[in-house]
């Protein structure tokens, strides 16, 4: 067992910490940890973590984690005594996900799922740190039926030469990296397969359905569904997913792979109608051809999450949508919305 002394609080790294999910993880961890947020801002926004910069236990480092990471070179980390205490936990979330700009981010996705894995896993080995990787439900491939349920033991079918392969097959290879480091170096590494997540701070006008629905509803514009009336997916509110990630980190070494998401499949047309009602909008729903990054998805089997981590999603869809709408309204000026 590692005998590195811990001064007051553990040191935790969150890569991609200025992104949608990463910023919420940083926020949650600040309750009882010193948080080092690493992000190159290539597909995220400093505004997501501006409210955290005031805290002495939070430090933002602009850096590309696809490069080898040498924490000793960052003088701003001296206050965390990294040279003496090291790093106790690493959450690796850095990976671009952009439906509309996916073509322009292919190499970034490829690097994040390869170079970024090696760089962060090497860091986990160096500091004997626990490691959680934000994987994705895409490793399962597309469902065979409308309500297909994926278990962690299922082997997915992914086209490794498709236009999406840098992300889909990339996530599979990334998991192979984690498992290989578990086998060779004995690290405590977890692979968390995250199903569709929504909430405040999602990128706007990026082809992500929930924030785009809300913006268009508030502006009285058409709500665009990239597909037809049958397009369905599970939707899990961001705080539930963050709670699952933290619980995964705290769980013993026997747990290596776990699903996080909602077991309920919902039609996106029904979600759009809910948002129109909640915003009292006069918007209409229209349908357009699917985007490359938007594919059919199943729902997670959550038995392992329930049994091993005591985790279930708690936020109801209607409540989560209302929270997201309230956030958008409160930040409409910063978002540049025309109200």
> Which of the residues are catalytic?
167
**Cβ–Cβ < 8 Å for 133, 191:** yes
Bridge partners for 150 per DSSP: 300
Q: Compute the distance between CA of residue 206 and CA of residue 19 in angstroms, rounded to an integer.
A: 13
Listed in sequence order, the residues at least 6 apart from 28 whose beta carbon sits closer than 8 Å to its beta carbon are 239, 242, 243, 246
Nearest of 160, 138, 166, 242 to residue 199 by alpha carbon: 242
Planar angle of CA 187, 192, 193, nearest 5 degrees: 145
Interhelix angle for 115-127 vs 165-185, to 10°? Answer: 20
């Amino acid at each position: 067992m590692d005998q590195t002394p811990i001064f007051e609080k553990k040191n935790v790294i969150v890569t991609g910490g200025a992104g949608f999910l990463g910023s919420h993880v940083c926020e949650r961890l600040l309750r009882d940890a010193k948080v080092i947020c690493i992000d190159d801002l290539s597909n995220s926004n400093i505004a997501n973590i501006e409210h955290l910069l005031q805290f002495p236990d939070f430090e933002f480092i602009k850096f590309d984690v696809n490069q080898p990471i040498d924490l000793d070179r960052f003088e701003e980390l001296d206050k965390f005594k990294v040279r003496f205490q090291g790093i106790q936990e690493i959450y690796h979330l850095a990976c671009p996900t952009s439906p509309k700009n996916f073509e322009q981010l292919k190499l970034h996705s490829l690097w994040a799922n390869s170079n970024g894995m090696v760089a962060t896993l090497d860091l986990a080995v160096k500091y004997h740190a626990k490691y959680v990787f934000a994987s994705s439900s895409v490793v399962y491939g597309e469902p065979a039926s409308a309500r297909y349920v994926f278990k962690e033991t299922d082997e997915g079918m992914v086209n490794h030469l498709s236009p999406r392969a840098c992300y889909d097959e990339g996530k599979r290879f990334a998991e192979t990296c984690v498992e290989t480091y578990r086998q060779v170096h004995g690290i405590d590494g977890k692979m968390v397969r995250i199903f569709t997540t929504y909430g405040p701070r999602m990128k706007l006008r990026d082809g992500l359905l929930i924030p785009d629905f809300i913006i268009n509803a508030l502006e009285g514009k058409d709500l665009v569904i990239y597909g037809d009336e049958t397009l369905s997916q599970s939707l899990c509110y961001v705080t539930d997913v963050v709670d699952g990630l933290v619980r995964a980190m705290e769980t013993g070494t026997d747990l290596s792979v776990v699903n996080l998401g909602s077991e309920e499949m919902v039609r996106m047309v029904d979600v759009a109608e809910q948002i129109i009602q909640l915003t009292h909008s006069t918007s209409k729903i229209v349908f357009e051809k699917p985007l490359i990054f938007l594919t059919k998805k199943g729902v997670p089997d959550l038995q392992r999450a329930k049994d091993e981590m005591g985790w279930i999603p708690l936020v109801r869809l209607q409540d989560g949508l209302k929270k997201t709408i309230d956030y958008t309204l409160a930040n409409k000026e910063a978002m540049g919305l025309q109200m």
